[in-house]
Amino acid sequence: MIHVQIASEVTADGVRGARWVLLEAAEPPPSDAVDTRATAVAAPAVASQSSGPAPASMGRDSVADGLRLRVLKALVMVLGLGAALWTAAVQIGPPAPAATPHVLPVLPPPAAPAPVPTVPASAVVPQSAADTPAVPASAGLPRLTALL
Amino acid sequence: MPTPPTSQPPATLPWHDEADVLGVRIRVHFFDPAAADAAPDFVGRQLPILAGSGATLLAPEGQRQPYRAGALLAQPDAVLAHGDGLLCLTYKGGDGRLVQRALWQMQWRVDVMLQCIASAMAVAGQTQRPTAALWRGANLLAQFDPGVAALECLATNVSAARHYWRALQVVSPAQLAAFCEPRLRALPGLAATAAGIGSVAVRDDSVPD
């Protein structure tokens, strides 16, 4: 810290009434000690009509800061996108596999119809003449319906 | 019995008016520009109130030496040795307008005042001598007596101002003043004095308006 004394009063013989204040010490400078651009800015527009001093051009530190900021932004975006995809996968489910070309399932060939068992005449249960109607002579074909 | 030595009080200067603005006591002295410009020496021309005093320039007239304290770098218009201390004077860059005695507070520029104080801080920090901040206009000489709030605001915001302005290593008084002015205005109790309220008039009618 740097001690600074600002005189509060000027007299005919000198100054008096110093007020103390501490200034931060400067950071260790790089190879070039004085920033000439800042010196040019210090050239006064002390009482000028301009609205304010123009900022000094960006130095190496500012460029490095800008790159670092861009990297951080990209990293945050990637992490956010990844989190969004993971959340969607958990809640909705993973996306369906890629659809194969539409192919109709191959149906098995129709099975050969099973032979209808012929019921011999002797196996027919005798029934009363009133129940069973007269069977015509052409009743050699198997009966497909059953008498309930 | 020996008589105790009597210490003479320091001769006060004939200030015409004073006021408090943003925690800074301002003392002003009005003078005739033509008479001041006719003075043969630098002190008589730029510091009419100190004409005939022992104040001397530390550098040839017109040469602006850099003064650095920490990250604050200033190039005041003139630095004079006066007694045990220094005078940091700003007089260039003005618009040349005459300031009316009754309206000087209304026309006062706070940024100019803070720049002068910041320049004095840089000079005092490098030389380690008490330094007074002064500003010379077309017909007015002002001396600034910053209060604790104003000094602390300037001193503690040097790094912040440097980062704000993206300065490589140092910040100028103009940059520091522009950064600190809104902060000073926001401090409670100081905003009311920004418009010159609270003036303590010490009028001397011998100097015409």
The per-residue pLDDT for range A84-101, each reduced to its tens digit, is 999 999 988 776 666 555
Contacts of the segment A116-121: beta carbons below 8 A, 24+ positions apart: A116/A142, A116/A144, A117/A142, A118/A142, A119/A143
* pLDDT value at residue B198: 36
> Around Cβ A129, how many Cβ atoms within 10 Å?
8
* pLDDT value at residue A55: 47
How many Å apart are CA B187 and CA B180, to the nearest integer?
11
Assess whether pLDDT exceeds 50 at residue B131. Answer: yes
Find residues 179-208 of chain B whose CB sits inside 8 Å of chain A: none
Predicted TM-score (pTM) of this structure: 0.62
* pLDDT value at residue B205: 44
The per-residue pLDDT for range A93-122, each reduced to its tens digit, is 776 666 555 566 667 776 666 666 665 555
Radius of gyration of chain B, Cα coordinates, nearest whole angstrom:
18
Assess whether pLDDT exceeds 50 at residue A74. Answer: yes
* pLDDT value at residue B207: 45
Q: Among all chains, which residue has been given the structure tokens 């900021």?
A: A69
**Helix (H, G, I), strand (E, B), or coil: what is residue B115?**
helix
* pLDDT value at residue B103: 87
**Neighboring chain A residues of B69 at a CB cutoff of 8 Å:** 2, 4, 23
* pLDDT value at residue A142: 63
Contact A13 B10 (CB under 8 A): yes
Assess whether pLDDT exceeds 70 at residue A18. Answer: yes
What is the mean pLDDT of the segment spanning A20-42? 59
Mean residue pLDDT of chain A comes to 68
* pLDDT value at residue B116: 96
Half-sphere exposure of B197 toward its Cβ, with a 13 Å CA cutoff?
A: 7
- Written as six digits, the tokens of B79 are 């630095």
B43-57, B89-103, B114-128 — which is least confidently predicted? B89-103
Contacts for B45 with CB less than 8 Å, ≥ 6 apart: B36, B37, B39
Contact A44 B116 (CB under 8 A): no
How many Å apart are CA B27 and CA A127, to the nearest integer?
142
What is the mean pLDDT of the segment spanning B82-91? 95
Contact indicator for A26, B170 with CB cutoff of 8 Å: yes
* Interface probe, candidates A4, A37, A63, chain B, greatest B C-beta count within 10 A: A4
pLDDT band at A61 (very low <50, low <70, confident <90, very high): low
Assess whether pLDDT exceeds 60 at residue A40. Answer: no
Q: Which run of H or of E encompasses B106?
A: none
Assess B172–A contact: CB distance below 8 Å, yes or no.
Answer: yes
User: What sign results for the dihedral spanned by CA atoms A53, A57, A60, A66?
Assistant: positive
Identity of the residue in A11, A35, A38 whose CB atom sits nearest the CB atom of B13: A11
* pLDDT value at residue B199: 40
Assess A28–B contact: CB distance below 8 Å, yes or no.
Answer: no
Comparison of pLDDT for A98 and B107, the residue scoring more: B107
Nearest residue of chain B to residue A14 (CA atoms): B83
B6-10, B49-53, B164-168, B176-180 — which is least confidently predicted? B6-10
ipTM value for the complex: 0.85
Nearest residue of chain B to residue A17 (CA atoms): B130
Q: What's phi and psi for B109, nearest 5 deg?
A: -105, 115
Cβ–Cβ pairs < 8 A, chains A and B = 197
**Neighboring chain A residues of B132 at a CB cutoff of 8 Å:** 6-10, 15
Contact A12 B134 (CB under 8 A): no
Report CA-CA distances (Å) from A103 to A95, A100, A106, A110. Answer: 21, 8, 9, 20
Assess whether pLDDT exceeds 60 at residue B126. Answer: yes
* pLDDT value at residue A8: 95
Assess B86–A contact: CB distance below 8 Å, yes or no.
Answer: yes
* Interface probe, candidates A46, A49, A61, A62, chain B, greatest B C-beta count within 10 A: A46
What is the mean pLDDT of the segment spanning B118-140? 96
* pLDDT value at residue B60: 92
How many Å apart are CA B33 and CA A46, to the nearest integer?
20
